[in-house]
Structures are given as structure tokens and as C-alpha cells.
Amino acid sequence: MDDIELKMTVLGKALQNTSPKTLQKLALSALMSLGVSTGLWAKNPPVDQPVVRFSDFSTEDQALIKAARASIQSRQPNDLIHQSGHFAVVLDDVQKQTYTLKYTVLLDPIVDIALSKHELINDVKFVTALIYLDLQQYYHSYQPSDVMVLQQGLKLSYQVRYQYQDAQGNTQVGFKETDLLLSADGKYYPVTDANQ
């Protein structure tokens, strides 16, 4: 079973010493905006605008965010700001106030995340984002537009076109296709062979 690190850049949104519930809300906000940032199912926002807006958070969370930002001015890039469960927020750039939300998910044999009880796990867009970042660990040349997702009833199919270099150094185009079936417990289970 592979641990896949799901990374999401969050601008100016780091929480320190906060409750797991608040941190989960940040994770959900970031994951829900993941498709926008990768261009998987929405138009890309302007590059100079954060995909997670400060106004998206409650007044309580905004106060926590402000306190967290004020407390990290002396930190260095890559310092761990907060870690809880399977995800962590890491400071990337002090000047730009850019953070990376790292989230670990397990995709084999079951699509399983710490927030699996949330209805988001059954969202085609969210599963697509997991697929995209899963494959990104192995293939670095394909574009988000190369990901095709088709949902028919309880089956979710995805195909990714990617480029790679063969043993002779020539560029080749490959495809990875997989089916996921929605089971009675509300989770998508990968089918071993998509052609069967």
C-alpha cells in the first residue's frame, strides 16, 4: 500500500496550534479548490489570486489564521508549522506568505483518506484530483487536460495520457486507464483490470 503525498499550495493560510477540526476545514477548503488550481473541472483563477480566500473562513478561523501568520515571521522556509494526523502545513516562502498543505492518502486497494466520512469522498471531482496527484508521482509531463473522467451510474472511469522516454531516449505517449466502482459502503474501489 503506497502512501501518496497530496500537495496543495495555500496562500497566506497557515494554522498553528489549532484544533484538528479547524485544520480539517482548511484541508477541505484546499482540497475542494484543488480542481480549480489544476484545471481539472473549472476555469483556472488568475495566478495572482489565492485559490482559498480569507473570506471563506469563519470569523473564528480568520482570527486563528491572523494569529498564526503573526507567529511565523521568524520561521524559515520548510519549517513545520503544524502537523496533525496525515497532513501538515509547511511554510515555503516567508516573503510571499506561501504555504504547502501536504496530505497523505491511500489509494490502494481502497480510496481511503482521513476525511473519508465526509461526503466529499464520493465527489467525482475530488476523486479526480486524487487520481491526478497520484499519477503525478510517476509522470511529470502530462497536462491536466489529459485527464478524462467519465461517471456512469456507480462506475467512475479515468484515463490519463502521459509522455515518457523509452530506453532509447525517444519520447513516447502512454495511457493509464482505471475503473473505480462505488461500493455499498460509499467508497470507490479500484478495478484490477479496466478492460474487463
pTM: 0.24
pLDDT in tens, 25-41: 444 444 433 333 333 32
Grid cell at residue 97:
506568505
Across all residues in the chain, what is the average pLDDT? 42
Q: How confident is residue 141, by pLDDT bands cut at 50, 70 and 90?
A: very low
Residue 167 has pLDDT above 70, yes or no: yes
Position 169 pLDDT exceeds 70:
yes
- CA–CA dist 111, 38 (Å, integer): 20
- CA separation for the pair 36, 87 (Å, rounded): 21
pLDDT digits (tens, 9 = 90+) for 38-79: 333 233 333 333 333 445 555 665 554 454 444 433 443 333
Between the ranges 13-17, 21-25, 88-92, 124-128, where is the mean pLDDT highest?
21-25
